[in-house]
Structure 1
Amino acid sequence: MLSPLPLLCRRAALSMAAVLAAGCAGLAGPAADAPDTPLSRRLDALLPAQVLILGEQHDADAHHALERETVQQLAARQRLAAVALEMADSGRSTAALPPTATEAQARAALAWNDRAWPWTAYGPVVMAAVGAGVPVLGANLPRARMKDAMADVSLDAQLPPPAWQAQMAAVREGHCGLLPESQMQPMTRIQVARDREMARTVAQAAQAAAPGRVVLLVTGAGHADPALGVPQHLPTDLKVRSVRMAAGGAGADRQRFDALWATPAVPPRDYCAELRKPAAPAKP
């Protein structure tokens, strides 16, 4: 049985750094950009690139604001080819919409699931792209394909063994230790399948882009991780830059990213407590 993915995605994004910290101790990494560093300077340090991945903490409002501003600045420079989102399924796109499209039209084009991903958080990112005439692409593995992914043993070999073990550890931690051991491998396959689907969407858009333009992927920090996420599945001839946006500046895994963008801390929230709540009794 599939777990409540939106809540678990948030939990996994918050815990990924802690899960992987042991394997990263003592490694040097990029210094965090101060919150007052101009975004234009941050982008200058990362470009040119064909793919730019922003790894967010899903409940950090400052990350959504940075994503919107990144879209606006890249579009203003005529450097933005497309925006791909973890928050919508692959095959969905706003490409057929005019820049004057409404939010309702954009939501319909992406088959937006507001219960999973609040439009109030991601709508400004989407509409900044639509208004600039830049297509927004759903990139995530559709839920209808997750059952097949759970049984696809070929996914077990898509990562180096240490990365596979780290991914499995992140799945365990992201599920608050509540996932039966028998489900660990199938659920890890789903994570790998999601990364591969996002990579496929991004690679296709990048290969079709005009020279000098970049495809922006907005996703969770774990998916953005070059050691075990989407970058693992992208063609090696693509120039990829991956950013970890870190609420409070924390991030033991920073050394694997091309940049660490520090943002104000977010009040802690115990997602595991929400998962452990007993189910409401059925009505007679």
Structure 2
Amino acid sequence: MADIVALRKSEAAGPLVSALDNGVLRLTLDSPPANALSVEMMGALQEALDAARDDPAVRVVVIAATGKVFCAGHDLKELTDRRADEDRGKAFFKLTMNVCSRLMQSIVRLPQPVIAEVDGVATAAGCQLVASCDLAIASSEATFATPGVNIGLFCSTPMVALSRNISRKHAMEMLLTGETIEATTAREFGLVNRVVPPEYLNQIVTKYAQTIASKSPLTLKIGKEAFYEQAEMSLSSAYAHTASVMVENMLARDAEEGIGAFIEKRKPEWTGE
């Protein structure tokens, strides 16, 4: 698998293309027509995220795709071919699910915000990928589904991300029927933030990304981490935890600089400390 060593240049890493511009790292799934989450694709994504984690030049990550399919989920042909193994593919199936679970959790735990730019079909683990991102902006032509139930394979792991983004009734509707929903319905469900004309998708995502990239990287890290931590807590525990987080945040140099700049009516200069 290709080693990602220079994120500052546009480069291909197997099925993934990465490019860093003005603090925004764009990771493009580039294995049409399905852009499936094969083991190779997930490995390339994981490697890119691991490299980005400690790179101060990366402020925001955008996950996009080439072609008419954002991501069709796991590579069913790859999985089916392993049924010829002695264990009927069990070890490979387990590997695939473990790699996928680690990848989705890495997106949530990445210090930098992650935005999904969805222009096309996002199904099964592809829908899971969208749901795992912090923000998702879709073109009006995008569609979403968790159709595993139609082929005898319930979308159990996509369900984890899906049920943490949308209401239980909407999640169960998608999971039990396997039906495709349009982008506007995905927005109503809470799966995506905005639906825009396809010709403006990249422009709008870039604007979102650059706006976020202009903030203190330390503040973004603190806020994102606290958001997901408090979401799993009781109300009183959440308030206790976030109060402690805010105290520590207030002591950060960037908070001192930001508040000072606001009072003095000037642009803050972030140091990430």
Which TM bucket (shorter chain)? under 0.3
Q: Looking at CA atoms only, which structure, 1 or 2, has the larger radius of gyration?
A: 2
More relative contact order, 1 or 2 (CA 8 Å, 6+ apart)? 1
